[in-house]
Amino acid sequence: MPLCKSWLSRALAASCLAAAITAAPAAAIAADALRHPEGTLKLAERQLVAGSTVPIGGEEFAEHGKLELFLVGVAGRFSLGDVTADSVGGFAKSFGIPTDLVLGAYRLVAIATDGDEVASLNVELLAEAPSSDEGAGHAEDDSGHVEDGHAHDAGPAEDAPTDEPLILERAGSPWVRGGAVVGIIIALVGGGLLLRKPQATV
Amino acid sequence: MTTPPPTAGPTRHGPVAERLALHGLDYPVPARANRLDFMLGALTLVSLTLLAVTGIVLTQYYNPAPLAAHGSVQYIITNVPLVTFLRDVHVWSASGAMVLVFAHLAAVFWRRGFRNPREGLWWSGVLLLALLFGLSFTGTVLTGDQEAVEALAHATAGADLVGPLGVPLQEAFTPSTPLLTRLYGVHVSVLPLALVLILGLHLWLIRHLGVSATGTERALFRSHLRPLGGFALLLVAVVGIFAIALPHGLLAPGVGGFEVTKPPWEFLWIYAAENLLGMNGMLIAPAVLFGFLAIVPISDRQPGRGATVTRVLGVTLFALLVVAIVYAAVAPGQTHLGM
């Protein structure tokens, strides 16, 4: 019987090893096959005006894939709307820019239906249309073509993400705070009592 | 007349103690185990219990969808006083658990509590340490803020480095579910379950192999529970004080492609390694630490040169760890992704 068990355990170990050796590359291949095509967003101007309507184009996305466009910045994420790519993975649609966003640097982000980010572009949100001189300068730049879909340029330093915590109005309750203080006092007193050495009996 | 020494014989039990079989706690342990340095593991368990209880409450308010995660945390902070306090207790308990587990590790290492027959006890402890790091990392990425996004970016970059082993940490591994949501599932189910299983083994081995304390004097385990309870209550009080005095903040929603934050303190030694070695430091530093911890019971089996070398290496590594954490905390931030 011990001989049987030894043979069986060796066979089981060999099977597991074989499965692991074949599963790992299979998983890698599957992951590659399932990876989203990374598309390219196209904008005529990288400076967006709050309240305006902006034509946004895209190419090289998943064929007939549904995308949702967001403006992502330090103030949060704001949806611009949905679009569905055509049979060759492209789209062209106008989107309204909200009027109530904090001005400054944002990323225009395209997100697929499973939440994956598939393209992004740095933009700046302005209150008014830029002057003709500024507009001409930017019109001569590339139209927002992002070669790998995730490249970025730094943007204005004062609007870049920071490690400073948000200034939030924390919810407070005298009952919660009072209860916590009472609990702390009880724990301190109880702990002290338990740590006192028991007195020797006489 | 002095109090007679405790014995392992039967003691009187009330009706409740009898029905709860508390006599099972009347086994002998070394009297020396009634000191704080022998209770650090149990206090780590107290921290983990605090984490579990507060974590269960937080699951009712947290939304693991990538575009809703940050908003749900912000909602907790700005709208629910009790839950935001519990969130602060959760975060400070996590720090407490890491401090205590390293103190426990150092104490066991120093008194050579890994020697025969306690090798399995040591290795299960090393596994528990790895699980704690996993829990800390997955908890960090759940907030969806800048620190979380950068932590996730580092993890996926590290996953790229290890090839097929890192596939589960890739976004495309399961196209149906975002990586953040999967990590939430790992944080609340996979890692806690693994922790409970390994902890069960760890406690079983302690119970049956005994504590590695010297001395012939014995005490009942029940007498060990009294000072342990005292220290546990003090730990809870300290965590509560920190939660009130230093509530945990929240950064802005994460923006990918930037590196402006540093990781939580327990990962700063890895950050320091990345500063010095590039992205490979993220793999080299943990490999060195856990590789050393794994071989300790083998290299230090009995008194001799191996024991001396192991001890010197251990003390040196521990000192390096502390220095690396301090260095990374004060050094200017660096960009690692793409190095």
For chain A, how many structural domains are there in total? Answer: 2
CA distance A101 to B163: 41
In this structure, the answer to whether residues A109 and A147 fall within a common structural domain is yes
Residue B3 lies in a domain: no
In this structure, the answer to whether residues B229 and B330 fall within a common structural domain is no
Strands of A53-59's sheet, edge to edge? A40-43, A53-59, A91-96
Among residues A33, A35, A31, the alpha carbon closest in space to that of B165 is found at: A31
Residue A195 lies in a domain: no
Residue B11 lies in a domain: no
The answer to whether A111 touches A67, Cβ cutoff 8 Å, is yes
Q: Which 3 state secondary structure label does DSSP give A45? A: coil
In this structure, the answer to whether residues B294 and B192 fall within a common structural domain is no
In this structure, the answer to whether residues A61 and A26 fall within a common structural domain is no
| Closest chain A CA to residue B167 | A28
The answer to whether A95 touches A80, Cβ cutoff 8 Å, is yes
**CA of A201: how far to CAs of A83, B2, B5, B25, B246, in Å?**
83, 7, 12, 24, 44
Cβ–Cβ below 8 Å for B70 and A76: yes
CATH number at residue B53: 1.20.810.10
For residue A34, give the nearest of B67, B175, B241 by CB distance: B175
Cβ–Cβ below 8 Å for B243 and A150: no
In this structure, the answer to whether residues A17 and A113 fall within a common structural domain is no
CATH number at residue A72: 2.60.40.1930
Counting Cα atoms < 13 Å in the Cβ hemisphere of A11 gives 6
CA distance A94 to A80: 10
Cβ–Cβ below 8 Å for B172 and A201: no
In this structure, the answer to whether residues B98 and B225 fall within a common structural domain is yes
DSSP single-letter state for residue A39: -
Q: At A128, is the pLDDT very low, low, confident or very high (cuts 50, 70, 90)?
A: low
In this structure, the answer to whether residues A21 and A95 fall within a common structural domain is no
Residue A99 lies in a domain: yes
Full domain range(s) for residue A121: 40-159
In this structure, the answer to whether residues B135 and B49 fall within a common structural domain is yes
pLDDT at B13 over 90: no
In this structure, the answer to whether residues A15 and A74 fall within a common structural domain is no
pLDDT at B285 over 80: yes
| Closest chain B CA to residue A180 | B240
Residue A72 lies in a domain: yes
In this structure, the answer to whether residues A50 and A29 fall within a common structural domain is no
In this structure, the answer to whether residues B289 and B148 fall within a common structural domain is no
Q: At B12, is the pLDDT very low, low, confident or very high (cuts 50, 70, 90)?
A: low
CA distance B239 to A188: 11
In this structure, the answer to whether residues A116 and A16 fall within a common structural domain is no
Q: What is the predicted pLDDT for the residue at B147?
A: 93
What is the ipTM score, two decimals?
0.85
The answer to whether B89 touches B240, Cβ cutoff 8 Å, is yes
- Identify how many contiguous H helices and E strands chain B contains and give both numbers: 12, 2
Residue A175 lies in a domain: no
In this structure, the answer to whether residues A32 and A44 fall within a common structural domain is no
In this structure, the answer to whether residues B228 and B311 fall within a common structural domain is no
Structure tokens at A146: 């992002």
Size of interface A-B (CB pairs under 8 A): 159
Tens-digit pLDDT profile for residues B70-95: 999 999 999 999 999 999 999 999 99
**Which residues in chain A have Cβ-Cβ distances shorter than 8 Å to B233?**
187-188, 190-191, 194
Cβ–Cβ below 8 Å for A170 and B77: yes
In this structure, the answer to whether residues B230 and B330 fall within a common structural domain is no
**CA of A35: how far to CAs of A118, A176, B159, in Å?**
10, 47, 15
Q: What is the predicted pLDDT for the residue at A6?
A: 60
The answer to whether B241 touches A184, Cβ cutoff 8 Å, is yes
Q: At A19, is the pLDDT very low, low, confident or very high (cuts 50, 70, 90)?
A: low
In this structure, the answer to whether residues A26 and A63 fall within a common structural domain is no
In this structure, the answer to whether residues A61 and A117 fall within a common structural domain is yes
Tens-digit pLDDT profile for residues A141-164: 333 333 333 333 434 444 578 888
**CA of A192: how far to CAs of B14, B97, B182, in Å?**
26, 21, 43
In chain A, % of residues over pLDDT 70: 61
Residue B95 lies in a domain: yes
How near does any CA of chain B get to the CA of A119, in Å? 11
Q: What is the enclosing helix (H) or strand (E) of B145?
A: none
Residue A145 lies in a domain: yes
pLDDT at A139 over 50: no
In this structure, the answer to whether residues B248 and B266 fall within a common structural domain is no
Q: Which residue has the tokens 């992205």?
A: B279
For chain B, how many structural domains are there in total? Answer: 2
Q: Is B338 on the interface with A (CB under 8 A)?
A: no
In this structure, the answer to whether residues B269 and B157 fall within a common structural domain is no
Structure tokens at B147: 């620190």
Tens-digit pLDDT profile for residues B213-243: 777 777 777 788 889 999 999 999 999 999 9
Q: Are strands A76-84 and A66-73 parallel, antiparallel or unpaired?
A: antiparallel
Residue A169 lies in a domain: no
Tens-digit pLDDT profile for residues B93-133: 999 999 999 999 999 999 999 998 999 999 999 999 999 99
Nearest 5°: the CA angle B116, B118, B121 is 155
Is the pTM value of this prediction over 0.80?
no
In this structure, the answer to whether residues A57 and A141 fall within a common structural domain is yes
Residue B40 lies in a domain: yes
In this structure, the answer to whether residues A31 and A47 fall within a common structural domain is no
CA distance A129 to A140: 17
| Closest chain A CA to residue B160 | A28
Q: What is the enclosing helix (H) or strand (E) of B83?
A: helix B81-110
pLDDT at A185 over 90: yes
In this structure, the answer to whether residues B287 and B307 fall within a common structural domain is yes
In this structure, the answer to whether residues B283 and B242 fall within a common structural domain is no
The answer to whether B294 touches B126, Cβ cutoff 8 Å, is yes
Full domain range(s) for residue B267: 262-339
Determine the residue type at B279: M
CA distance B231 to B113: 22
CA distance B166 to B176: 18
Nearest 5°: the CA angle A166, A167, A170 is 110
CA distance B258 to A151: 11
**Average pLDDT over every residue of B33-50:** 92
Q: What is the predicted pLDDT for the residue at B70?
A: 92
